[in-house]
Amino acid sequence: MKILALGDVVGPAGVEAVRSSLRVLKRREGADLVIVNAENAYIGNGLDVRSAEAVFAAGADVLTGGNHSLRIHDSFAMYDTNDFVLRPLNFPPLAPGKGFCLFQTGRGKRVLVMSLAGQVFMDPADSPFTAADALLKRLSGQYDVAVADFHAEATSEKAAFFYCFDGRINVMYGTHTHVQTADEQLLPKGSAYITDLGMCGVTEGILGVKPETVISDYTMKVHNRFEKAEGKAALCGALFTLDDESGYVKEVKRIRYDCAV
């Protein structure tokens, strides 16, 4: 089984990049399941209904979230009714939506997908470690493979999570920083991780934002409203190949697909 995970979709340009290129990438890599982090898809952060529909139509199976997930109030009904649009599991229980889903692939494999938010240098959230542990115990026997999108800032927190859940969560990866890391690794107990998938969107900018709207913060202490960057775009993520019998990850491969748009 092959699982393709893509990093944060940034703004309308990121949505357009996914729309134009995801099906080609999915077919090229032979992915059985595509998971996309979409918490930055709207023009000013968050996920709106139209962007979610576009990413699903492009070939995504599950959309994960992060600290910006619930910025768009008009999307709350979508979070409550669509089982495959997730916000972080460790958000407060009264938050709209849910933090996990069970997805069945075309080959009949039951995949548990969970979305989690970190605590270090992030908005307040409950412990992702406790939330993941409780979910795995509660759903024991109901899934064949587990996947976690850990949306977090600190690489140390991400690494601690990955090693903590080695052998319990097959596929683990980080999102949030928009910068793809080069540390993809197979773990001793059969799991695999990469610290950050990177982003889907314009590559000629600062984390998907026009450089001039960021530079002033550092040179003059003047904060300007961020504007989405324009130019060439790419889809960044990773492809995880699992053994069909054991569920062990055999290979994790970084993905960067330069779009024609």
Give 168-209 pLDDT, tens digit per residue. Answer: 999 999 999 999 999 999 999 999 999 999 999 998 888 888
The C-alpha atoms of residue 244 and residue 1 are separated, in whole angstroms, by 6
Q: Alpha helix (H) ranges present in 139-250?
A: 155-164, 212-219
Mean pLDDT of the chain: 95
Q: Provide the whole-model pTM.
A: 0.95
Decide if pLDDT at 215 tops 80.
yes
Output the pLDDT for position 114.
98
Residue whose entry in the numeric block shows the structure tokens 């998938």: 197
Output the pLDDT for position 229.
79
* Dihedral sign for Cα atoms in the order 134, 159, 149, 33: negative
Q: What percent of the chain has pLDDT over 90?
A: 86
* Dihedral sign for Cα atoms in the order 217, 221, 223, 224: negative
- Listed range (37-41, 42-46, 219-223, 233-237) with the worst mean pLDDT: 219-223
6: confidence class by pLDDT, cuts 50, 70, 90: very high
Long-range contacts of 203-209 (CB under 8 A, 24+ apart): 203/231, 203/232, 203/233, 203/234, 204/229, 204/230, 204/231, 204/232, 205/229, 205/230, 205/231, 207/10, 207/177, 207/178, 207/179, 208/8, 208/10, 208/11, 208/13, 208/14, 208/40, 208/178
Provide the token pair at 188. 């001793």
Output the pLDDT for position 9.
97
- 121-138 average pLDDT score: 97
Active site residue 73: no
Per the model's pLDDT, the better-predicted residue between 44 and 89 turns out to be: 89
Q: Three-state DSSP class for 137?
A: helix
Output the pLDDT for position 205.
82
Per the model's pLDDT, the better-predicted residue between 7 and 207 turns out to be: 7
Decide if pLDDT at 53 tops 60.
yes
Provide the token pair at 114. 């969970």
E strand map for the chain: 2-6, 8-9, 33-37, 62-64, 100-104, 110-117, 145-151, 171-175, 185-186, 192-194, 199-202, 233-242, 249-258
Decide if pLDDT at 21 tops 60.
yes
CB 132 within 8 A of CB 191: no
In sequence order, the 6+-apart residues with CB closer than 8 A to the CB of 250 are 186, 241, 242, 243
261: confidence class by pLDDT, cuts 50, 70, 90: low
Which residue segments constitute the domains of the chain, with CATH numbers given? 2-203+230-258 (3.60.21.10)
Residue whose entry in the numeric block shows the structure tokens 């995970």: 5
- Of the residues 68, 151, 176, 178, only one is catalytic, namely 68
- 98-123 average pLDDT score: 97
Going by their DSSP bridges, the two strands 33-37 and 8-9 should be labelled as: unpaired
